[in-house]
Every structure is written in structure tokens, then in C-alpha cells.
Amino acid sequence: MGTDSLRGKVAIVGAADTEVGVVSDLGATQLCVDAARRALDDARISKDQIDGLITCNSMAEPYMYHAETIAEYMQIFPHYCMAIGAGGSSTFSIMHHAASAIVTGVCDTVLISMADSLRSGLSREQAMLVQSSTGHAQFESPYGPTVPAYYALIAQAHMHTYGTTAEQFAAIAVACRKHAALNPTAQMREVITVEDVLESRMIADPLHLLDCSLVSDGGSAIIMTSAERAKDFPHQPVYLLGVGEGHSHEYISQARNLTTSAAVDSGKRAYAMAGVGPADIDLAQLYDCFTPTVLIELEDLGFCEKGEAGAFVEAGEIELGASLPVNTHGGLLSHCHPGNPGSMYHLTEAIFQLRHQAGERQVKNAELALVHGQGGIMSSHTTLILGREQD
């Protein structure tokens, strides 16, 4: 397929989020359905107009056939139905599958809905078991590290190689919280300082509690259709202009480089398909499970030279009104993080920004957005370029 094979051919015409944080009155399945119904309302269509359905499995309420279960629950009878799992990059990697299904005529209108209840649906013991089961059975797990420890290795490597400081990591958490303070739906809205981050409890050196993403309940959904049909929907269509994937390893002990990720590859492919470069991007929604991931993504996606992202964030360049607003909803660090569906909120935020519906946190004249997700321990990467115009 040529680099322009999907550019501008599909659009997002519906987007919605559920309540986030502690949502004890809805389980993971109900949150998934709630997100789907909200997206249908946003697009002003009925479920009977959906002929493609994609979900990701839940940790709190897993099913052997998750998408089929949600379809049955909602009484949707799709031509295209699947559940996926690639960590935080799942949301975005599945979008080019859905786009291909639309372009090739497999289906016309795809609903992507993802949700989980990590905050109220898992006990502390269950959550710790999930955290400790991610490592390689021979080379990692026997030594007892959890997910924060793996990301701490990445942070230490960046500090050692480039002189990055804990204050620079903390600046990312501060920026995300500033944005969350403007977002009435965010789980954490109290403004924090660099000192607050550094004085919060140490989790895995150099990562403090406020360097780490939240644990949340929540769900989010979008609806995609062809560019031709998108013009018949009530909102400004948001077009898929570019997409790229990159995969470097599964287990962190097998990573060839701790400070450069496969975001380099996914970004290059997305830029090439969209026909744009980093300088053209108005805002970026970058996967922020821990503060160091944002720093490395900024560099690998071409927004900074290698080793310069620390100074970039310390200077406030990722805040609203600066050169590259990042995670304008608050990100996983301050808006919410319900596990694999967490990056869905980066996507819906980009959609609201490109529709010019983001209220106090609206990026002025937003036309192009980059959205990036990563799964595993900086393992699997997907980059999207979204725009208000088809070309």
C-alpha cells in the first residue's frame, strides 16, 4: 500500500467519555456500554447504524470474547467485530484496521469503545499481581520488579546519558496538572508544583508518586466512517491523515536502547502518510504513564533533538499557550488512567480540540494534532496524525 493509501479517507464523527475516577456504580462492562452510548448520542445515530465494533478486554471483568459480548449486550449485529490488546497503543493501532475495513467496504460505520474499572474493580492484591506479572519469567520477574521499576530504569538511563534531572521530569507532571485544572472532567485538578512532585513518596528511584499515572475507572468511545459520509454528521469531522507503528521489544531486558524507542519509526511513518512534519503539529497528546515516557516521546517524535527534551519541558514549552501544548486534558498523570483504555482519552481530547470544543483549555486555531500511544515497557508504539481538513 502507498503512503497515502488511508490519508483523509476516513473520519471520526462521534466521541465521548464516561465519568472517570472512582465510578463504583458501574462495572467495566457497563462503562464500556455507557461510553458507546454517549458516542452514539454525540454522532446522533442509533446503534442499528453501527456495523463494526471494536473493544479491548478488561482486567476487572474479562471475557473470552469481549467484543462479541459487548455486541450481544447492546444488541448490535456487526459485520466486523474484534477485541484487541497491545497495551496503551491498542487504541491507535486498531484505528488503521478500522479505517481499512471502511475503505475496503467490509463495513461502513465502526464503533470503538474501551473501558475498565481498575480503581474499584480490582483489589490491591489483584492490582499488584498484574503489576508483577509483566516481566520476563526468567530474566525479570524472579527479581521482583513492578512496572514503575521498569520505567525507573528508563529514567535513570536518560539521566545518565543526557544529564536529565528529576526537576525536568516533574515539570511534565506540573504541566499536565495545570491542564487538568481547566478540565472539569479530570480526576485530579489541584495545581501542583515541582517541589510537590519531588516531595511526594518515592516509588522507584527517581520516580515519585506524582511522576506516576493515576489508577482509575472509566471508558471512552469514538465512531469512524468514510470521509464522504462524515459530512452528513453534526460535528466537524476529524480526519485520519497519517498512522504508523513501531515495535522494538516485548521485555525491557531485551531492549536494545533505553533512551530511544520505536516511536522514531511510528512517527516517521505517520508523518510520511500525512505529508507533514513535527513543525506542522499544533498540539500533541502523548502517552504519559510515567513522566519519562513523555520526555522520550518528545525527542523520538522529532519535537526536540535527543537529550534536549528536559530543557524543553522545564521551559514550559508543553503548556497551553506555548510552542507545543501536550496532554491538554491532563493526561494519564492527572485526568485518568483506567489501564489499556487510558489512551482513548488522549484521542477524544484531540478530537475535541480539533472540533474547537475544548473550552478553557482550547488550543488556539488547532488544525493538526499528533496522538501517540505506547504499550508494554516502551515496547509497542502507534502514532496518529489527525486534522480538520482531508488533505
Distance CA 141, CA 130 (A): 12
Return the minimum-mean-pLDDT range out of 86-95, 96-105, 194-203.
Answer: 86-95
Report pTM: 0.95
- Which CATH number fits the domain that encloses residue 222? 3.40.47.10
What confidence tier does 219 reach under pLDDT thresholds 50, 70, 90? Answer: very high
Structure confidence by residue, pLDDT tens digits, 42-72: 999 999 999 999 999 998 899 999 999 999 9
Tell whether omega for the bond before 206 is within 30 degrees of 0, i.e. cis.
Answer: yes
How crowded is residue 201: how many other Cβ atoms within 10 Å of its Cβ? 8
Establish if 112 belongs to a structural domain: yes
Residue with cell 498523570: 333
Structure confidence by residue, pLDDT tens digits, 261-274: 999 999 999 999 99
Establish if 182 belongs to a structural domain: no
Structure confidence by residue, pLDDT tens digits, 121-171: 877 777 666 666 678 888 888 888 889 999 999 999 999 999 999 999 999
If one compares 4 and 372, the residue with the highest pLDDT of the two is 372
Establish if 89 belongs to a structural domain: yes
Distance CA 35, CA 179 (A): 23
Mean per-residue pLDDT over the chain, rounded? 94
If one compares 24 and 122, the residue with the highest pLDDT of the two is 24
The three grid cell numbers given for residue 204, joined into one nine-digit string = 522507584
Per-residue confidence (pLDDT) for residue 88, from 0 to 100 = 76
What confidence tier does 3 reach under pLDDT thresholds 50, 70, 90? Answer: very low
Establish if 128 belongs to a structural domain: no
Nearest Cα to Cα of residue 328 among 361, 295, 281: 361
Query: How many domains are there within the chain?
Result: 1
Residue 86 pLDDT greater than 70, yes or no:
no
Establish if 288 belongs to a structural domain: no
Full residue range of the structural domain in which residue 53 is found? 10-122+215-230
Q: Exposed/middle/buried for 123, CB within 10 Å: 0-12, 13-18, 19+?
A: exposed
What confidence tier does 220 reach under pLDDT thresholds 50, 70, 90? Answer: very high
The three grid cell numbers given for residue 85, joined into one nine-digit string = 490488546
Residue 24 pLDDT greater than 80, yes or no:
yes
DSSP 216-260: -EEEEEEEEEEHHHHTTSSSPPEEEEEEEEEE--SSGGG-S-SSS
**Angle subtended at Cα 115 by Cα 110 and Cα 119, rounded to the nearest 5 degrees:** 175
Establish if 62 belongs to a structural domain: yes
- b/e per residue, 257-290, with b = 16+ CB within 10 A? ebbbbbbbbbbbbbbbbbebeeeebbbbbbbbbb
What is the rounded average pLDDT of the residues 193-216? 97
Structure confidence by residue, pLDDT tens digits, 314-363: 999 999 999 999 999 999 999 999 988 899 999 999 999 999 999 999 99
What is the rounded average pLDDT of the residues 100-104? 96
What is the rounded average pLDDT of the residues 370-379? 94
The three grid cell numbers given for residue 281, joined into one nine-digit string = 503539529
Mention every residue, 6+ apart, whose C-beta is less than 8 A from residue 233.
13, 14, 43, 44, 45, 225
What confidence tier does 231 reach under pLDDT thresholds 50, 70, 90? Answer: very high
Distance CA 117, CA 121 (A): 5
Establish if 189 belongs to a structural domain: no
Residue 373: what are its φ and ψ, rounded to 5°? -125, 150
